[in-house]
Structures are given as C-alpha cells and as structure tokens.
Structure 1
Amino acid sequence: MFSKVLVANRGEIAIRVIRALEELGVASVAVYSEIDRDALHVRRADEAYLLGGPTAAESYLNIERILEVVRESGAEAVHPGYGFLAENATFAKALEDAGIVFIGPPASAIEAMGSKTRARELMKQAGVPIIPGTTEAVPDLEAARKIAADEIGYPIAVKAAGGGGGKGFRVAMDESQLQDAFEGAAREGEKFFSDPTVYLERYLPDPRHVEVQVLADKHGTTIHLGERDCSIQRRHQKLIEESPAPHVDEAMRDRIGQISVKAAEAVGYVGAGTIEGLLQGDEWFFMEMNTRVQVEHCVTEMTTGVDIVKEGIRAAAGEPLSIAQADVRLRGHAIECRINAEDASKNFAPAPGKVGSYKEPSGPGVRVDSGLEAGGEVTPMYDPMVAKLIVWDADREQATRRMLRALHEYEIEGLKTLIPFHKALLATEQWRKAETARDLLEDRKWLKTLAFEKAPAPAEGEEEKVEQSYTVEVSGKRFDVRVIGAPIANGAIPAAAGAPAAARRPARRERAASGGQATGDTLPSPLQGNVWKVLVEQGQKVEEGQLVTIIEAMKMENEIAAHKAGVIAELPIKEGESITAGATLAVIKDASS
C-alpha cells in the first residue's frame, strides 16, 4: 500500500477520497486554487499545496504544476477523483512516465474509451451491443446529412467524440435542426475536450439510463456490482440516481453485468469504472465507459456494502480485490439526489453564491457527501454540484420516504439549490411509477412553480405572499405558528416592543431572485458567469426569442434570448469577459423609436 497519495481534485469528491486514505492509513495531499484556499478539502488533508489562479485551467487542469507538487510532496500516487483530469490519458501517461501511480486504469484504457468512436468500434469487436450509428468521426455537416438520410434516420443524436457528462450532446429531431446540433456538439467538444470531431447515433426517444459498476485488479479479476438507474436528467446530466434499477430483474442484471465485465476486460481495465448503457424495452445498448469513479458510486456502496473508492486504491497498489463475484449481493434500495447550486425554476440556471447557515440531515440510512460549510463560497468557476444526499432503506418506496424526510431536514441558507426540485419530483406519480419524468423536466411551467415551495407565484399586479413558519415560547409553553403574507425583508423576524417571546429563524425558503428579469428595453444577465459568445451586433434588428449571447457558468452554456423585438441600441458586453447577475447584456429599443 502507498504511504502518501495526492488527491488532484476539490470539493466533496476530494473529501471522500481523503477519508478513504485515512482509513487505509495513507497520508493525503490536497491541492487548491487561489479561491479554494479555505476550502474544506484543504483543511481536511494532511498537506496542501497551491496550484495557481482561480480558473480550472490555471489550477486543477494544470498538469505541469500538479506534477511539480507530486515531486515536492513525495506522493507515490495520484487519485484524480472525477471531472478535471480524471479521464485525461495525457495526465495518466505523464504520471506513469514519472514513476508515479495513477489511481485508475492505464492510460491506454483511458485513451481507448476516451474517444467514443474508437470505444464503439472496440465494443463492437468484443461483441458488446452498441446503439446503431457511426463508429468513425463524421467529417462535416454534408456527410452528417447523408448518413442521417440514408442510414440512421431521425431523430438523431450528434455527439462529441471526446464528450461525456452531457457535454457535446445535441439532438436533431429532423433535418432542419441538424446544422445547429452538429455545430453545437462540435463547439462543446472543442471547448471541453479539445476535440471537435463528432459521431452520430440513432436517438432513442425515452430510454432508461442504466449503468453497471465494475471493479478490476491487476491479477486478472474483473467483477460487477450490479446496476444503477440514472434516468432523471436535465441537459443529459444526471440529477437523481438509484440502485437497483426499478426495471431490471435478476436475469437482466446478470446479462448486462456479464456484458460490462467483457467490455472492461476488452481494454485491460484496472480499478473502479462504469459501463453506461441505454435500456429500451428489454434491449440494453453500450453507450460509453467512464474510466473513473462515478459521482453516483455511493448508491452502489449502500446496496452492496463495498467501499468502491478503497477498492480502486487497493487495485492501483497492486492488491487483489477483496471480494469475488459470488460475494456480491444487492440489499435494499438506495437513492442519491445531487445537490446542485442551480435554480430549477429558471430552467436550472447556475446559482453561485455565499452559504449562510448550513445543516445536514442525519438519522438511520442517511449519508451526505459534501464540500459545503456555513460561510463558504460557491464559485461559478467550477461544477454546480456542491453535495450529494444519499439514503438507503428496505425497498424503493421506503427509501423515497426517507429521502423526502432528509430533504426537508437539509438546510442551506443563502444559496439556491435543487432541494425544492427533488422534493417536488419525488412526490410525483411519475417517480412512484419509476418513469423517466422527461415530460416534467422539460415543462417550463412546472419548473417555474418551484420558485416557491408552498405558495404559488403571484399573478401580475398581485402582492407576493409566502408562508413563514416560526416556533415561539410563551410562559414556558412552545407554539408552532404559520404566517401567510408579504415576505419579510432579509428574513428578519419582527418583534413587538417589549414582547418576551423567543423565536428562531424560519426554515430556508427558495426565493425567486429579483435580478435578471427583463423590464422595458434592458436585457439583464440572469446569472453570474463568463460571456462565451455574442451573437448580435449593435444596431442589428432582432426578434423576440432570438439568441443574443451565450453565458458560461459552472461548466454550462446558458443561451440568453431577446425579451422583445427591436434594435440593439446598446451592447456593453464582450466575449471572454466576466459578468455579474443583473448586469446589462443589451438594450433593445423599439424599431420605430
């Protein structure tokens, strides 16, 4: 076993790995950016080193600087977590060349699975079922049009060859949408993976996203730990995961498990990995392999009792897996809700900010993996996921009830999160029936209702009303009081002069932000981020709904459209500059004025 390991990540996954190292008796080394100086993972590790500036490129993606820190610290191995450099074959190879162990698969496996086109070809050769489509990059739009018309048909999925995590994934329902889908997928592929090549697949309209957890050691043993269902997604990024999958029986579990083991063995895999697939009816297709520990590994840990992070570290150290396939048993049901700093009522817009009070839920079968704390700052520089809430219980129905209880207990003040969304979704008939709930996730009207957890949004011209809950004590007796009325400024509780009542702050409420609402001629930014692309010019005529700019925040592109028709009178933004929520993006005057 190693004596010291560097964790090349931040937030909750860095803390998760540090905990595993501590239990294995291994010293941990953290790295951080300038804005993460006081982050939890920095204080949790045995040592910590500054990487560089606030952006990911200056810090967590800076391979040269990370290699310097490895040498300075004397670390024998590097755990990449997920995201950042976790699936970067160049990074893994650089560590191998320097005699440092990469806690994950060999660079050759990352490279093979990193290119989705190459991975599809390899899986086809290994007898693994793949979604019908191309196994080579499509050179240009005209070639894409021909392949779509002659071979695949519509709807069609356009995917970046180096994509993953929902990036570089666009759908064309018909030929009129193909150009935008092709260019969008290529642009995101270049931006996030330095690879603009794309490939095409038949688009399955409403499949279940079912993936299989695999573990492999250096002694020729590869096993699977059952499946997870990750069908609740927005923008092709997961929001809720569960294990076991509701629509998978023992026979199918065994079949897709064996297929996944075969897929991992085909690339000489070592460590923890996930074979992602799509389930349509009783057909399961390979989609891609994530050559790293997954965000949602926790639900599998809860149902199998296997510490996936520890097994990956042991495998990298040359130790055999501690369990055999025959030992794997799924018990009960686990659900994970991703706690993202996003406003679901505004179509999941990123919502960075400062955390006020912070209280995690607890109790039997409840687990929180978090990088948050009271007073912490959630920056737009990185991924919007700030924590994960995981529960386990005897079956899916009971696990759902436990999750709802835990969500109601979870308090994150001062930050918009997906907690109201999760509470609303888990209470729906779609969730109860284990449907994909795609209709709700794409229903802007339903999402807008999540701006208030209990009170509906006021009609135009109507005074806003919210429900506030208080606990007061009078003459030693406790009373629970509900007040329905106008929201109280700054959440303060007014007290009558001389009233001897003790009151506690009301539970956190998700409130719609006042900034970012277009009024009159001004189009303000609904969020903080960076101007990725400006799509209009000053003096240009625009229609209502026409794209004006694309703002990048928390690794997501957010398209901002004109709120009215007219002429761009002012355009005070430039590509590449940062922008705050509420700042003016454009002033649109009526064409006649």
Structure 2
Amino acid sequence: MFRRVLVANRGEIACRVAQTLQEMGVRPVAVFSEADRGALHTRVMDEAVEIGPAEPRASYLNADALIAAAKRAGCEAVHPGYGFLSENAAFAEAVEAAGLVFIGPTPEQIRAMGDKRAARALAAEAGVPVVPGAEGGDGEALARAAEAMGWPVVVKAALGGGGKGMKVVADRAALAEALESAGRVAAAAFGDAALYLEKRVERARHVEVQVLGDGRGAAIHLIERECSLQRRHQKVIEECPSPAVDDALRERMTAAAVALARRVRYRGAGTIEFLLAPDGAFYFLEMNTRLQVEHPVTEMVTGHDLVRAQVRIAAEGRLPFAQHDVVPRGHAFEARVYAEDAARGFLPQAGEAVRVRWPRQPFARVDAGVESADAVPVHYDPILGKITGFGATRDQALFHLTAALDEARLHGIVTNLPFLRALARAPEVRRGAFDTEWIEREFLAAFAAVATAPAPELAVAAAALAEALGVWQGPAAGTDVAAAPTATPADAFRAAGRWRQPGLA
C-alpha cells in the first residue's frame, strides 16, 4: 500500500479523497494555488504544497508543477479527483513516466474513451446499443446522414463533455451554421474542432452505471444512478437507484456496462452513461474515466467506498470485492451546492463564506469544500459541497435530503440552495416523472418568476425588526412626519447598514 498520495485537486473532492486516504493509513498531500492558500482542503491534509498562481493553467492544470510537488513531498501515487487533469491522458502518462502511480485508468483507456467517436465504436464492438449517428468533416455528407436518421439531430464535440459544443438541429437549413458554431466552441474548449452527429432521443433520461475494473479484463458494476435532473447538460440532483429502472432493465444495462469495461480491460473506477428512451430502449452515451461528482449516492446505497476501491486497485492490481458483494440497500439523493445565483441565470458568485452551517441530520451526508470564513475564489468551478440524503425508501431519502437542504446555511455568498429546496419539493421529482430537459422546459421559468418577485412582507418584517432592535426609531406618535427632524433616518435598511448580507436563504 502507498505511504503518501498527492491529491491533485482542490475543494470538496480533495477533502473527500483525503478522508479515505487517512482512514487507510495513507498520508494525503494537498496542492494549492495562491488563491487557495489556507483553503479547507489544505487544512485537512497532512501536508500542503504550493504549485503556482491562481490561474488554473498555472496551477491545477500545470502537470509539471503537480508532478514536481509529488516528488518533493515523497509521494508514490497521484489521485486526480474529478475535473482539471483527471481525464487527461498526457497527464496520466507524465505521472507514470515520473515513476509514480496514477490512481485511475491507463492513458490509453483515457484517450480511447475520451474520444466519443472511438468510444462509440468500442461500445458497438462490445454489443452495447449506440444511438444512430454519423461523423466526418463533409457537411453535405452529414446532412444526408441526418436526413436518413431523421430530424432532429444533435451536433456534438468528439472530445467534448458537459454539453460544450452541443447543438440541437431541427432541419437541414440550420445544420451548416450549427456545425460551424459547435466546431468553434469545441476547438476553444478541447483543442479539437472534430464533431459528430447523433439522432436526438426525445424525452430521454440520463442513467449511468458505476463500474470497477482491475485492468486485466475483470469488471463489476455497482448498479445505476439517475442523473436526469439537469440544467444545460449539468447535473443538479442525482439519485440511486433510478426510479425508471426495474430489475429486468437493470440487468440489461449493467450487463452492457460491464461488457464495455471488460472490452477495454478497464482499470479503476469509471461510469458508463446511457440515454434511456421512454419506450425502455437504452443507448450508450459516453464513458467518464474518473470518479464522478455524484459517487456518494452509490456509496450510500451499496456500502462500498469508491475512493478506497480506486486506491486498492491502483496499489494491488485487483478488484477489492466481487460482484456478489454488491448488495444495494435503500435509496439516496445528492444535491450539488454551488456559489451561483439561480434567480439570475445561475451567475457564478465569489467572495467569502462568512458563516457556514452544514446539516447534521442523522440520515444526511455532507461532502464539504468550505467552512466559515473561507474564501470562494472566482477562478474555479463554484461547487461548495454536496448534500446527500439516505432512506430505506425513495420517499424517505427525498424527505431526508429536503430536511438537510432546509438546515444548510451559507451566509456571505449567494448559493443555489433556494433552487435546490424548490426542486426537491417539486411534484414531478417526488413522482420521478422527469427527463433531461424537464427543468428547463417546465420548472425553471416558474422558479425564476417566484425568486425574482417583489417580497414586500420581507421588507415590512425587516423594518419591524430594525425598529424593535433600536436600529431605527420612527417619528413619535402624533408627530407630523413632515416636521420630524431630518436627522432621523427615513430608511430602516440604510440605517441598519452592513447587516444586509447575500446568501441568507
């Protein structure tokens, strides 16, 4: 087993990985940029090494600086977390070339599954259903292929993810412009303008299967996760298991996922993502060759620590448990807490989390990235933490998630907590009746209208509180308001001064 592991990440995932490493008796080493000096992830680890300026390319995306930090701290392995360089084949190669162990798949697997065209071909070879599609640089040929598949189609970046470079096209006239636009976005975001087309699956759900592989051809699954509650292709709330998957469908989906993992001789933890059509047909979407943000729901339901599994596979070269050891129990929901203003287009926020109170519910788990007085830099993904609710049934798990969201408080910075609380209470969420576009199609406009509506009762309550506390004294009873001394504040909110603070929801 390793003695020291560099955690090449920041925020909540760095804290999460460090926790398991410490439980295993492994010393985690943090890295930090100038903007993250003193951040929570540096405080919870045994050692912290500065790697550069705040700009990600000079720090968390700087492979040379990360490897140098690992060598300087005497680490034997590197855990990439998620995001940043976690799915960068060149980084994995550089780690191994430096004589360190990359806790994740091989560079070849990252490269093959990161190219969505190559991944589709591998899935088809493994007998996994794929969405009808086409690729190539000839716009006219792609148009003919789209007409043969039937409109609408989706234009996707071959090396993309997170919805970047994705365009839905309804007819031939709009295809040329979509290809040009998506190509520009793909080139800027991923360094490659290559695109491909897929037939659009209407009202689809996003269901993914967690897999583990030993790198020699053996693989198992840890059932599925439901990830359809999305906004602009970004997941918001996830759950395990999926309310849309029965035992028969689960058997087919998990078998397909394991077949693909075995086909590529996958090493470590990975996720096979599927589109689930309303008629029960499912299609391979992509593979994420890393630990997912939403991995806690799988851990809560299966009882298996996925970070521990990653580390053991990397250190020992074998699966830490067998398929029959995966016995799902209960249900779990996870909500991602972001520093963003959901009422204003989910605008990212930065500043100081002046006061943070994470929930302490008995059936809730918190993966926190900030505590009171921590800075929230502008340079990075604005995720602050994740709240997971568990229960014996789906209804109980959702109740515990909702209660935990209600208890959470992050003052000093605007967060998406009001949005998450409203979403968790939506009747469609309670019934499990949603798809990947339901939030934007049916929920978001109503939420924004309520969130931005005037709230005069709050103003009255605030003024009354200010007066009760002696912050503002209005004119004495019977006094002519017009003749009242001008020195008396006329605005309770102005008189109250700095008591106003964002993020009080």
Same fold judged by TM-score > 0.5? yes
Are 1:420 and 1:450, in contact at CA under 8 Å, matched by a contact in 2? no
Cα distance in 2, alignment partners of residues 498 and 420 from structure 1: 30
Deviation digits for residues 383-407 of structure 1 (CA, Å, limit 9, x no counterpart): 1222111010011111111111111
* Matching residue of 2:123: 123
Q: 1:49 to 1:450 in 2, by over 3 A?
A: farther
Cα distance in 2, alignment partners of residues 132 and 493 from structure 1: 66
Cα distance in 2, alignment partners of residues 339 and 250 from structure 1: 32
* Matching residue of 1:544: none
Cα distance in 1, alignment partners of residues 31 and 55 from structure 2: 14
Match of 2:165 among 164, 168, 172: 168
Q: Which moved more, 1:20-29 or 1:427-436?
A: 427-436
CA apart distance, 1:97: 1.7
Structure with greater proportional strand content: 1
* Matching residue of 1:25: 25
Are 1:116 and 1:162, in contact at CA under 8 Å, matched by a contact in 2? yes
Cα distance in 1, alignment partners of residues 120 and 260 from structure 2: 10
* Matching residue of 1:233: 230
- Contiguous gaps of at least 5 residues in structure 2: 474-497
Match of 1:195 among 192, 203, 212: 192
Cα distance in 2, alignment partners of residues 278 and 306 from structure 1: 26
Length, aligned pairs only: 478
Matched, 1:359 2:357: yes
Are 1:421 and 1:450, in contact at CA under 8 Å, matched by a contact in 2? no
Cα distance in 2, alignment partners of residues 497 and 386 from structure 1: 34
Counting only pairs closer than 5 Å after superposition, residues 371-386 of structure 1 correspond to structure 2 as 371-386=369-384
* Matching residue of 1:485: 460
Matched, 1:36 2:27: no
Deviation digits for residues 505-550 of structure 1 (CA, Å, limit 9, x no counterpart): 99988689xxxxxxxxxxxxxxxxxxxxxxxxxxxxxxxxxxxxxx
* Matching residue of 2:90: 90
Q: 1:394 to 1:69 in 2, by over 3 A?
A: same
Deviation digits for residues 353-390 of structure 1 (CA, Å, limit 9, x no counterpart): 32121100012210110111112222231112221110
Matched, 1:277 2:268: no
- Contiguous gaps of at least 5 residues in structure 1: 459-463, 468-483, 500-504, 513-593
**Percent same amino acid at aligned positions?**
47
Match of 2:211 among 207, 214, 219: 214
* Matching residue of 1:539: none
Match of 2:401 among 390, 400, 403: 403
Q: 1:316 to 1:23 in 2, by over 3 A?
A: same
CA apart distance, 1:195: 1.5
CA apart distance, 1:486: 6.6
Task: Give 3-state SS (helix, strand or coil) of 2:316's partner.
Answer: coil
Task: Give 3-state SS (helix, strand or coil) of 2:238's partner.
Answer: strand
* Matching residue of 2:289: 291
Task: Give 3-state SS (helix, strand or coil) of 1:32's partner.
Answer: strand
CA apart distance, 1:439: 4.0
CA apart distance, 1:488: 5.7
Structure with greater proportional helix content: 2
Cα distance in 1, alignment partners of residues 318 and 467 from structure 2: 59
* Matching residue of 1:586: none
TM-score, length basis structure 2: 0.89
Are 2:89 and 2:110, in contact at CA under 8 Å, matched by a contact in 1? yes
Cα distance in 2, alignment partners of residues 451 and 41 from structure 1: 33
Are 1:159 and 1:169, in contact at CA under 8 Å, matched by a contact in 2? yes
Report runs of 4+ in structure 1 exceeding 6 Å deviation: 505-509
* Matching residue of 2:469: 495
Deviation digits for residues 257-289 of structure 1 (CA, Å, limit 9, x no counterpart): 111011111111111110001111211111100
| AA in 1 matched with 2:178 | A
Q: 1:124 to 1:485 in 2, by over 3 A?
A: same
Cα distance in 2, alignment partners of residues 69 and 144 from structure 1: 47
Are 1:226 and 1:244, in contact at CA under 8 Å, matched by a contact in 2? yes
* Matching residue of 2:64: 64
* Matching residue of 1:465: 456
| AA in 2 matched with 1:73 | A
Are 1:451 and 1:511, in contact at CA under 8 Å, matched by a contact in 2? no
Cα distance in 2, alignment partners of residues 493 and 213 from structure 1: 56
Are 1:169 and 1:236, in contact at CA under 8 Å, matched by a contact in 2? no
Higher relative contact order (CA closer than 8 Å, sequence separation 6+): 2
